[in-house]
């Protein structure tokens, strides 16, 4: 496959939001490998000495964001920040991230920004029993989370078109990674099994598209460094039942006897899987992990 030409925007400074999250923390190495000079906004007190220029402040503080943009003048913007734990689906904090995302792109433009990529979610789609494509219908009004994600996409896309900024939007499917919150599936299963506690899975036949956080990060870095515009599914394109995924974790921990499956009717769609043709053929990202290899890395470090 022929590589896409890379735009020369004068510098490879990138401002990254969400760089301490499950995906964000994995972005640093692939971005450095692609030659980016990385700056990141963070509210955390202690951040790793990993080559990132940490900018201590709050993304919701407009005066702080203005100051950062004026100081850095990045050619690239990668907006990954969002709340994805607790009651995030219905929380009003989604509107704060919507407002912050709009403010970011405005300040980015005012300081000469040229290429922006924002993170979206597969939950914006109207689900169906076949792989979802970027051209498929949306049903984004179902939660505050999906409404605000999609509204930010619409506003930012329009703004970038008007202001000659190259814009990409990566829709993430199901994420798993190292040190995952125990309220999430992978973190919960590993935590319970490590304590020799029984794990009850109630809807194991649901089919998902799980992608390792390192592959998601690598995909976003490659996406940012390309000319590809518009929506791109960030997914493996490979369906897997929750049952298979959980059993693999238990096998690698040698704790299969602690897994219990219950057949419970679910209000979730039976299948949520993405078509990743754009990611593979246009962004030219090659997945580096299958789920067995990724789970092994998570468990064994």
Average pLDDT over residues 229-255: 98
Residue 229 is assigned to a structural domain of this protein: yes
Segments in the chain forming alpha helices (H): 24-33, 62-72, 93-110, 144-162, 185-194, 213-224, 242-253, 277-281, 291-300
Query: In which domain, by residue range, is 225 found?
Result: 13-175+210-237+273-288
The 10s digit of each residue's pLDDT in 47-103 is: 888 889 999 999 999 999 999 999 999 999 999 999 998 899 999 999 999 999 999
**9-21 burial: b if 16+ Cβ within 10 Å, else e:** eeebbbbbbbbbb
Please report whether residue 62 resides in a domain: yes
Mean pLDDT of the chain: 95
Q: Residue 15: pLDDT above 80?
A: yes
Query: What's the pLDDT score for residue 8?
Result: 61
CB crowding 165-199: b at 16 or more within 10 Å, else e: bbbbbbbbbbbbbbebeeebbbbebbebbeeeeeb
Q: Tell me how far apart the alpha carbons of residues 214 and 216 are, in angstroms, rounded to a whole number.
A: 5
Phi, psi of 231 (to 5 degrees): -80, 140
User: Can you tell me the mean pLDDT for 274-288?
Assistant: 98
C-alpha torsion 247→251→253→257, nearest 10: 70
In-domain check, residue 284: yes
CATH number, residue 224 = 3.40.50.720
Burial class (CB in 10 A: 0-12, 13-18, 19+), 125: buried
Assigned domain for 2 exists? no
**What is the number of domains present in the chain?**
1
- Cα–Cα distance between 256 and 162 in angstroms, integer? 55
Structural domain contains residue 195? no
- Residue 265's pLDDT is 87
**193 belongs to a structural domain:** no
User: Does residue 33 belong to any structural domain of this protein?
Assistant: yes
Instruction: Give tens-digit pLDDT for 118-128.
Output: 999 999 999 99
Specify the pTM.
0.95
Classify residue 10 as left (phi > 0), alpha (psi -120 to 50) or beta: left
Residue 279 scores a pLDDT above 90 = yes
Q: What pLDDT shows up at residue 3?
A: 44
> Is 256 inside a domain boundary?
no
| CA–CA separation, 175 and 269 (whole Å) | 17
Quick one: pLDDT band at residue 7, thresholds 50, 70, 90? Answer: low
Strand partners, 240: 208
Residue 42's beta-bridge partner residues?
A: 56
């Amino acid at each position: 496959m022929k590589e896409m030409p890379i735009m020369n925007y004068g510098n490879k400074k990138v401002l990254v939001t969400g760089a301490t999250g499950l995906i964000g923390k994995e972005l640093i190495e692939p971005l450095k490998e692609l030659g980016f000079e990385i700056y990141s906004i963070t509210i955390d007190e202690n951040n790793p000495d990993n080559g990132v220029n940490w900018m201590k402040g709050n993304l919701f503080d407009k005066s702080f964001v203005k100051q950062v943009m004026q100081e850095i003048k990045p050619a690239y913007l990668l907006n990954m920040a969002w709340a994805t734990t607790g009651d995030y689906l219905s929380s009003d904090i989604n509107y704060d991230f919507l407002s912050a995302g709009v403010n970011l792109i405005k300040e980015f433009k005012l300081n000469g920004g040229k290429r922006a990529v924002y993170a979206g979610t597969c939950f914006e789609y109207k689900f169906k029993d076949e792989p979802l494509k970027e051209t498929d219908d949306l049903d984004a009004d179902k939660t505050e989370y999906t409404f605000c994600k999609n509204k930010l996409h619409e506003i930012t896309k329009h703004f970038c078109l008007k202001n000659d900024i190259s814009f990409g939007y990566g829709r993430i499917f199901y994420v798993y990674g190292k040190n995952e919150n125990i309220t999430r599936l992978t973190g919960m299963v590993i935590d319970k099994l490590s304590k020799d506690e029984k794990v009850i899975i109630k809807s194991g036949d649901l089919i998902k598209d799980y992608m390792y956080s390192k592959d998601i990060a690598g995909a976003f870095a490659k996406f940012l460094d390309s000319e590809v515009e518009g929506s791109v599914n960030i997914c493996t394109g490979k369906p897997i039942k929750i049952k298979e995924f959980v059993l693999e974790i238990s096998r690698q921990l040698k704790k299969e006897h602690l897994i219990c499956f219950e057949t419970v009717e679910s209000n979730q769609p039976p299948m949520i899987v993405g078509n990743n043709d754009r990611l593979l053929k246009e962004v030219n990202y090659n997945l580096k992990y299958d789920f067995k290899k990724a789970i092994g890395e998570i468990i064994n470090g």
